[in-house]
């Protein structure tokens, strides 16, 4: 058998064509659009612009929690129920990039293999690529592409312990925070203040010793928190057997109903978009600042002054920012 090249080599087809194919339901176009967006290639901007008017259909569900908490298994159990009622689901599984090598080992698919022949499920692994907070800088844009493609749900799964977990909450409509008995999570939760980001608390592996105690502790802490309008429920699950998963789905539906009836979903969307703009603006500014610093004679001189302790970093920074003006 010989392999016959189809699209390659040759000039890349126009972005408009790629966007059209994504909207027409072409999975190859979808996966390649995601790559372009993730790699921040020049054509990504035009692609996102073409796709954005077609977004807004998907419900964004964030799932976060400690490593080994059962996020992927719980995701699989949720997807099984969602598929049973005919909903299509895309999953973005984000794992950390190794700070040493810049590489990443992405293994979440292993626990979701059963959907390989289901066209209603699409799983994409992403490496965080140096961004703290459990998300890659482009996760929001990748979710946008999947939304435009037409998935009913986009599930964003991130490893997180501590404040890093906040990032996914900024992106999702509903955020599940997974806790497991026996990890000392009660202390962790107080320390890192992660409870505030959870719309629903999930105690997974609830058949393990300590689940009831963990539930009591979490309930106690939630009662101290001020969450106007919505009190995060605590749902106990055993993802591996499916126990409690229908209840979890019901809790998600409740939260969705709350967001839609109270108008909070619109507020969240607005806050999310504002934060995304700020992020991107900061990146653009950083690039311009680096442009003013690298190989710049004035900055090299300022750096010498800094080393000689004749100046302080804040004043040099102020000079640098002043040079940004149009």
Partner 1 sequence: MVTAIERKIRVLVAKPGLDGHDRGAKVIARALRDAGMEVIYTGLHQTPEMIAEAALQEDVDAVGLSILSGAHMALFPRVLAELHKRGMDDVLVCAGGIIPPDDVEPVRQMGIKGVFGPGTPMDEVVTFIRANVRPEGHA
Residues 273-292 that bind partner 1 (CB under 8 A): 282-284, 286-287
| Spatial contact of 62 and 171, defined as CB atoms under 8 Å apart | yes
Q: C-alpha angle 306/310/316, rounded to 5°?
A: 50
* Length, in residues, of the chain: 326
98 binds partner 1 (CB under 8 A): yes
| Spatial contact of 229 and 257, defined as CB atoms under 8 Å apart | no
Burial class (CB in 10 A: 0-12, 13-18, 19+), 319: middle
Taking residue 194's Cβ as centre, other Cβ atoms within 10 Å add up to 23
In terms of DSSP bridges, do strands 174-179 and 121-127 run parallel, antiparallel, or are they unpaired? unpaired
If the CB atoms of residues 129 and 255 are measured against partner 1, the closer one turns out to be 129
124 binds partner 1 (CB under 8 A): yes
| Spatial contact of 177 and 194, defined as CB atoms under 8 Å apart | yes
- Determine the interface stretch with partner 1 among 50-58, 126-134, 227-235, 258-266 (rule: CB under 8 A): 126-134
If the CB atoms of residues 98 and 300 are measured against partner 1, the closer one turns out to be 98
294 binds partner 1 (CB under 8 A): no
| CA 201 from centroid of its chain's CA atoms | 18
CB of 294 to partner 1, least distance (A): 14
State which H helix or E strand residue 76 sits in.
helix 71-84
71 binds partner 1 (CB under 8 A): no
Q: Which of 107, 193, 246, 257 binds partner 1 (CB under 8 A)?
A: 107
Q: How far apart are CA 126 and CA 104, in angstroms?
A: 9
* Structure token pair of residue 287: 């690039």
Q: Which residues are bridge partners to 256 per DSSP?
A: none
CB of 175 to partner 1, least distance (A): 24
Interface size with partner 1, residues (CB under 8 A): 52
Cα dihedral sign, 167-134-261-48: positive
- Determine the interface stretch with partner 1 among 68-76, 109-117, 178-186, 200-208 (rule: CB under 8 A): 109-117
Q: Which of 48, 63, 94, 127 binds partner 1 (CB under 8 A)?
A: 127
If the CB atoms of residues 3 and 309 are measured against partner 1, the closer one turns out to be 3
Q: How far apart are CA 264 and CA 37, in angstroms?
A: 29
Residues 11-40 that bind partner 1 (CB under 8 A): 12-13, 18, 27-29, 31-32, 34-36, 38-40
Q: Which of 53, 84, 85, 117 binds partner 1 (CB under 8 A)?
A: 117
Q: Which of 110, 307, 314, 322 binds partner 1 (CB under 8 A)?
A: 110
Phi-psi region for residue 89, left (φ > 0), alpha (ψ -120 to 50) or beta?
Answer: beta
- Determine the interface stretch with partner 1 among 121-129, 152-160, 236-244, 316-324 (rule: CB under 8 A): 121-129
Using CB under 8 A, list all residues that contact partner 1.
1-9, 12-13, 18, 27-29, 31-32, 34-36, 38-41, 97-98, 100-107, 109-110, 113, 116-117, 122-125, 127, 129-130, 137, 282-284, 286-287
């Amino acid at each position: 058998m010989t392999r016959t090249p189809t699209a390659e080599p040759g000039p890349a087809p126009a972005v408009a064509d790629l966007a059209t194919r994504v909207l027409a339901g072409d999975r190859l176009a979808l996966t390649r659009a995601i790559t372009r967006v993730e790699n921040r290639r020049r054509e990504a901007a035009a692609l996102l612009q073409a796709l954005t008017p077609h977004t807004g259909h998907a419900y964004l569900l964030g799932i976060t929690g400690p490593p080994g908490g059962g996020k992927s298994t719980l995701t699989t159990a949720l997807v099984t129920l969602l598929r049973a009622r005919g909903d299509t689901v895309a999953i973005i599984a984000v794992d950390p990039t190794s700070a040493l090598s810049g590489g990443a080992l992405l293994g979440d698919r292993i626990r979701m293999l059963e959907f390989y022949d289901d066209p209603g499920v699409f799983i994409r692994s992403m490496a965080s690529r140096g961004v703290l907070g459990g998300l890659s800088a482009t996760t929001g844009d990748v979710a946008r592409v999947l939304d435009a493609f037409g998935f009913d749900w986009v599930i964003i799964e991130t490893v997180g312990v501590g404040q890093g977990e906040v990032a996914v909450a900024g992106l999702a409509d509903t955020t599940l925070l997974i806790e497991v008995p026996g990890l000392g999570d009660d202390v962790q939760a107080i320390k890192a203040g992660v409870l505030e980001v959870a719309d629903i608390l999930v105690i997974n592996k609830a058949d393990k010793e300590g689940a009831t105690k963990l539930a009591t502790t979490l309930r106690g802490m939630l009662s101290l928190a001020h969450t106007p309008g919505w009190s995060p429920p605590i749902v106990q699950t055993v993802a591996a057997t499916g126990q409690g998963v229908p209840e979890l789905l019901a809790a998600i539906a409740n939260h969705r109903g709350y967001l839609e009836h109270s108008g909070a979903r619109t507020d969240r969307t607005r806050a999310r978009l504002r934060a995304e703009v700020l992020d991107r603006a900061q990146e653009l500014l950083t690039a311009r600042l680096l442009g003013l610093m690298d190989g710049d004679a004035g900055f090299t001189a300022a750096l010498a002054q800094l080393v000689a302790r004749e100046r302080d970093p804040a004043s040099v920074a102020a000079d640098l920012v002043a040079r940004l003006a149009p």
